[in-house]
Amino acid sequence: MAELVRVHLEGPVAVLTLNRPEKLNALSGAVEEALAAAIGSEDVSSSASVVIAGSGRAFSAGADVHEMRAQSVAAILEYYRTTGGLYDRVAAIRQPTIAAIHGYCLGGGFELALACDFRIADATAVFGLPEVAIGIVPSSGGLTRLVRAVGPVRAKELMLLRDRFDAEEALGFGLVTTVVPEGSAEARAIEMGAELAQLPPLAVEVAKLAADAAADSSREASLLIERLAYAALAQTEDHAEATSAFEEKRDPTFGGR
Ligand code: COA
């Protein structure tokens, strides 16, 4: 049987490809398990950045509707203890993450994309949150991430009033970083991943952690986080290397120390 999630390296970039094209990469428990295993793979741990993409004609059409029949409270809690915890694991990947989106990016697929740091959409991308229409809500961290990203008013609009929206609209909402021509989202995401790989990795990791923590903190706590982050990073060899390289008019070489 074909792997449900393929992993390969493109230079410093790990590319994870959802590989259930015949079901538009619907996120069954088995796909979630495969994605969790991919996140734990050697290719991901050795990479400088991570791209998540979909095979076939979609990024992902969301949670597997066939596995969504009314479930008991105990079964739902069990789900979040097991494969449903995946979306937070994606958000916690230490390297920068980029969702490369084409075609449908619906429901849980959209939640997966929201768990990434950046989203690149091609002109065919179709976003939507069908959950409310089927009597539930986005609950894999997506509702919370959407509110953090666009505020509660727009989040309610997208959940309740918009059946679908396209890449240009998503760009206007600040949900995607860039829109690219049809068929080039993955290539652009890999290019962006390679650009991110040029940066000093400790500063990238701390900037990502601090930005996520700042969004959930008081102003005072957030200021403290950024000052402590600076105090820690100012001690690194990479910071010293960057300042020396600047003075010596050469390109820096970073070692992640
Ligand atoms: N879960 C399980 N299977 C899904 C799926 C999902 N979320 N989305 C698509 N599929 C399957 C279809 O059942 C179909 O399988 P089949 O060929 O065995 O019948 C296959 O993927 C292709 O989908 P199809 O519906 O034929 O493609 P389409 O282009 O006509 O329609 C969608 C695409 C996305 C509009 C439609 O598939 C859809 O509405 N999917 C459900 C979206 C959804 O509600 N997602 C999450 C809710 S939280």
Q: What is the position in ligand 1's atom list of the atom closest to the CA of 65? A: 1
Q: How far is the CA of 165 from the centre of ligand 1 (A)?
A: 17
- The two three-digit tokens of residue 135, written as one number: 């009597």
What is the CA 238 to chain-centroid distance, rounded?
26
Q: Which residues pair with 15 in a beta bridge?
A: 8, 51
Find the catalytic residue in 131, 168, 182, 241.
131
Ligand 1 atom 27, closest CA: 24
| Separation of alpha carbons 210 and 217, rounded Å | 10
Does 1 score more than 70 pLDDT? no
Widest Cα–Cα separation across the chain? 65
Q: For 101-112, what is the mean pLDDT?
A: 98
SS3 assignment for the chain: CCCCEEEEEECCEEEEEECCHHHCCCECHHHHHHHHHHHCCHHHHCCCEEEEEECCCCCECCECHHHCCCCCHHHHHHHHHCHHHHHHHHHCCCCCEEEEECCEEEHHHHHHHHCCCEEEEECCCEEECCCHHHCCCCCCCHHHHHHHHHHHHHHHHHHHHCCCEEHHHHHHCCCCCEEECCCCHHHHHHHHHHHHHCCCHHHHHHHHHHHHHHHCCCHHHHHHHHHHHHHHHCCCHHHHHHHHHHHCCCCCCCCCC
| Separation of alpha carbons 61 and 66, rounded Å | 12
- The two three-digit tokens of residue 52, written as one number: 């998540």
Q: How far is the CA of 244 from the centre of ligand 1 (A)?
A: 55
User: In the chain, pLDDT over 90 holds for what percent of residues?
Assistant: 96
Is residue 33 among the annotated active site residues?
Answer: no
pTM: 0.96
- The two three-digit tokens of residue 121, written as one number: 């959409």
Is residue 111 among the annotated active site residues?
Answer: yes
Instruction: Report the pLDDT value the prediction gives residue 68, as an integer from 0 to 100.
Output: 82
Pocket flag, ligand 1, residue 115 (CB < 6 Å): no
- Given ligand 1 and candidates 20, 24, 104, which is best to mutate, with the most ligand atoms within 8 Å of its CB? 24
Pocket flag, ligand 1, residue 193 (CB < 6 Å): no
* pLDDT tens per residue, range 79-98: 999 999 999 999 999 999 99
Q: How far is the CA of 215 from the centre of ligand 1 (A)?
A: 34
* pLDDT tens per residue, range 193-243: 999 999 999 999 999 999 999 989 999 999 999 999 999 999 999 999 999
Query: For residue 36, which of 13, 4, 61 has the smallest C-alpha distance?
Result: 4
Find the catalytic residue in 33, 67, 111, 186.
111
| Separation of alpha carbons 149 and 29, rounded Å | 27
User: What is the rounded average pLDDT for all residues in the chain?
Assistant: 96
Rounded to 5 degrees, what are φ and ψ at 108?
-60, -30
Ligand 1 atom 40, closest CA: 61
Ligand 1 atom 11, closest CA: 23
* pLDDT tens per residue, range 169-197: 999 999 999 999 999 999 999 999 999 99
Pocket flag, ligand 1, residue 254 (CB < 6 Å): no
Instruction: Report the pLDDT value the prediction gives residue 69, as an integer from 0 to 100.
Output: 78
Listed in sequence order, the residues at least 6 apart from 110 whose beta carbon sits closer than 8 Å to its beta carbon are 62, 127, 128, 129, 138, 142
How many other β-carbons are positioned within 10 Å of the β-carbon of residue 175? Answer: 22
Q: How far is the CA of 61 from the centre of ligand 1 (A)?
A: 6
